[in-house]
Amino acid sequence: EKNIFKEFLNRQMKVEFVNAYPKIFFDYVNSGRRRLSVTTLSCLLSGVPLHKINDLHKGKALSAEIDNERLKTRLGYKLKVIKPSLAAKRLIKIASKNNFTLFETFITDHLGHGRNIEKLEYFSKVLDDFLLNVIVSLPKEMNLLVCSDHGNYEDLSIKMHTLNPALGIAVGQDAKKISAKIKSLYDIKDAIMETFD
């Protein structure tokens, strides 16, 4: 009911969920099953449109794997595998049109559970390059918050989630304020919203 997209929309602010989904995902959603990520469910409940593969072709969205590799090789989409630096530029361009932009990758979770070291190493390089390019290109008026809800990617000796502290990185003009506010997952929304007060 009080998800972050609704909070921004109630303030007449622009929001966007930048991820693009394949047709199989929309078929799943339309089947009536509701085992969806919190982000996807929040979009559906708030009327925030979900991007489709065509938006990737137009450079108006990002794939969860950042470079489109899985969509191309596993699902057969005719997409270019893009460099993480290009994905970073696209994210910043999209974010510059919104008050709040969210990008979500679940690939780290899938790879952590699957415990495939080769794929993990490949995606780690993609993710590192992407984050580095976002951080060095971040406009001074923007904030970046990178967060995770649990660990598992960092320890392949177990298949389950770990009890390690989850990742949190804040960059930008309000980074210190955001970092000081967040002590747990429950603090993230308020920390973000307070930067607009």
* C-alpha span between 191 and 75 (Å, rounded): 37
| Residues 6+ away with beta carbon under 8 Å from 78 | 72
Is the predicted pLDDT of residue 151 greater than 80, yes or no? no
Is the predicted pLDDT of residue 154 greater than 70, yes or no? no
State the pLDDT at residue 63.
95
Q: What is the pLDDT confidence band of residue 163, given thresholds at 50, 70 and 90?
A: low
Task: Yes or no: say if 132 and 146 are a contact pair by the CB < 8 Å rule.
Answer: no
Instruction: Output 160 or 71, whichever has higher pLDDT.
Output: 71
